[in-house]
């Protein structure tokens, strides 16, 4: 009896110890994104991507469960600062995905770095995020220069453009992208006839289109704004006979911001639009096709994922990969990230450079909108 009892107790003790040990095998992921206010445009799509990715890892990775907590940072530095502190206090995450808006991302970077928690950014373009020496900050989203420099080069060299009018929304992201185009374009000898900025609340672009029409011969129109405004802008430009889609000669150019459905919404005004894409739902790579079909299965057959969905999805893939390779807390995950080279995700392959910025842009390519509104991939890069 006694030896049996002793073994039983030992077994029980071992079981208890083991289960509590097993419960500790969780990787906590905080997500700071705009859930309320006008910025919730991003938050909604981020959440879709993340939830979809989490389904893949329902049973954990490498014995670790992935636990996610969402917090509303409302695209504002004050809110972001507060929620960052809150999540650090209450949830104690190992990794924080955040934020979308550059101001908010820059506000939380010092807080997260001081707390030695990894910051994984999936949506801000500001150069400052990776130029400020933050050791725990990583970004999978191409920064302003990475997006705009190719545009400038293609505009000057391939399209032979010598004049440009830059259009951008009046935000950190819009400004940085516009600067990222202007500097190299002018350095090569091009002339920027005007830089026209507009707030996110501007709806009617007829006056702007008229102004552009009065500027003389414009070769390219690099534009950096969200889809809703871009549609209205393109339509106005077509009406004013400025762009190819309306009978003019100017070529609209854009960065990875514009999602796949834009061309259908803008109609014939989008003809001839040249832009770089990073996430292309028609790409044949298995990762992309699996993502698209899973997305449609979960959210509806008529919904096509945008790059915001894709980047959020990739963030989870990346974290899971780091865990698979042995990361289980902030330090080890940080380690894995800095060593990450050539990991394939829907938006390309991830290799972080020394500053934490994704440096492999091999998937990024140019497309031109055809008459039937489909994309024609171009080999310009």
By CB under 8 A, residue 77 contacts other proteins: yes
By CB under 8 A, residue 232 contacts other proteins: yes
Minimal distance in Å, beta carbon 331 to other proteins?
A: 21
284 to 343, contacts with other proteins by CB under 8 A? Answer: none
Closer residue to other proteins (CB): 242 or 340: 242
Who contacts 315 (Cβ-Cβ below 8 Å, separation ≥6)?
A: 49, 50, 53, 97, 120, 122, 140
Closer residue to other proteins (CB): 80 or 322: 80
> Contact with other proteins (CB under 8 A): which of 6, 25, 85, 324?
85
Closer residue to other proteins (CB): 154 or 231: 231
10 to 49, contacts with other proteins by CB under 8 A? Answer: 35-41, 43-45
133 to 162, contacts with other proteins by CB under 8 A? Answer: none
- Counting residues that bind other proteins (by CB under 8 A) gives 59
Residue 50 phi, psi dihedral angles, 5° rounding: -65, -45
Nearest to 192 by CA among 204, 207, 203, 178: 178
Closer residue to other proteins (CB): 25 or 86: 86
* String of contacts with other proteins for each residue 98-127, x by CB under 8 A: -----x--xx--xx----------------
CA separation for the pair 210, 341 (Å, rounded): 48
* String of contacts with other proteins for each residue 245-274, x by CB under 8 A: --------------------x-x-------
Minimal distance in Å, beta carbon 369 to other proteins?
A: 17
Closer residue to other proteins (CB): 91 or 380: 91
Minimal distance in Å, beta carbon 44 to other proteins?
A: 6
163 to 222, contacts with other proteins by CB under 8 A? Answer: 170-172, 175, 196-199, 201-204, 206-208, 210-211, 214
Closer residue to other proteins (CB): 90 or 158: 90
By CB under 8 A, residue 241 contacts other proteins: yes
Residues that bind other proteins (CB under 8 A): 35-41, 43-45, 70-72, 76-78, 81-82, 85-86, 88-90, 103, 106-107, 110-111, 128, 170-172, 175, 196-199, 201-204, 206-208, 210-211, 214, 226-229, 231-232, 235, 239-241, 265, 267
């Amino acid at each position: 009896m006694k030896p049996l009892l002793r073994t039983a107790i030992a077994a029980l003790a071992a079981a208890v110890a083991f289960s509590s040990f097993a419960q500790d095998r969780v990787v906590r992921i905080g997500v700071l994104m705009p859930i309320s206010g006008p910025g919730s445009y991003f938050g909604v799509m981020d959440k879709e991507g993340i939830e979809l990715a989490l389904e893949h890892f329902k049973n954990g990775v490498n014995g670790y469960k992935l636990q996610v907590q969402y917090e509303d940072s409302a695209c504002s530095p004050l809110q972001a600062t507060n929620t960052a502190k809150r999540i650090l206090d209450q949830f104690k995450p190992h990794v924080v995905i955040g934020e979308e808006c550059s101001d908010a991302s820059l506000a939380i970077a010092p807080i997260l770095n001081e707390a030695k928690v990894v910051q994984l950014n999936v949506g801000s373009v500001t150069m400052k995020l990776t130029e400020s020496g933050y050791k725990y900050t990583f970004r999978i989203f191409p920064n302003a220069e990475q997006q705009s420099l190719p545009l400038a080069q293609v505009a000057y060299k391939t399209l032979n453009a010598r004049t440009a009018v830059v259009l951008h929304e009046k935000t950190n992201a819009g400004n940085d992208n516009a600067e990222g185009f202007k500097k190299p374009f002018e350095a090569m000898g091009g002339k920027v006839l005007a830089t026209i900025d507009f707030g996110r609340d501007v709806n009617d672009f007829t006056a702007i289109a008229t102004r552009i029409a009065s500027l003389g011969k414009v070769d390219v129109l690099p534009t950096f704004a969200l889809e809703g405004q871009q549609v209205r802008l393109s339509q106005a430009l077509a009406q004013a006979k400025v762009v190819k889609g309306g009978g003019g000669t100017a070529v609209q150019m854009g960065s990875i911001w514009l999602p796949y459905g834009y061309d259908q919404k803008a109609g014939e005004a989008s003809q001839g639009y040249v832009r770089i894409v990073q996430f292309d739902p028609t790409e044949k790579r298995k990762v992309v096709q699996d993502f698209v079909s899973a997305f449609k299965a979960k959210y509806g057959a008529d919904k096509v994922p945008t790059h915001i969905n894709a980047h959020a999805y990739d963030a989870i893939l990346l974290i899971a990969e780091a865990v698979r390779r042995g990361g289980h807390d902030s330090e080890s995950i940080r380690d894995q990230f800095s060593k990450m080279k050539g990991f394939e995700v829907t938006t390309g392959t991830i290799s972080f450079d020394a500053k934490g910025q994704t440096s492999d842009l091999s998937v990024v390519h140019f497309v031109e909108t055809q008459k039937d509104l489909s994309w024609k991939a171009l080999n310009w890069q």
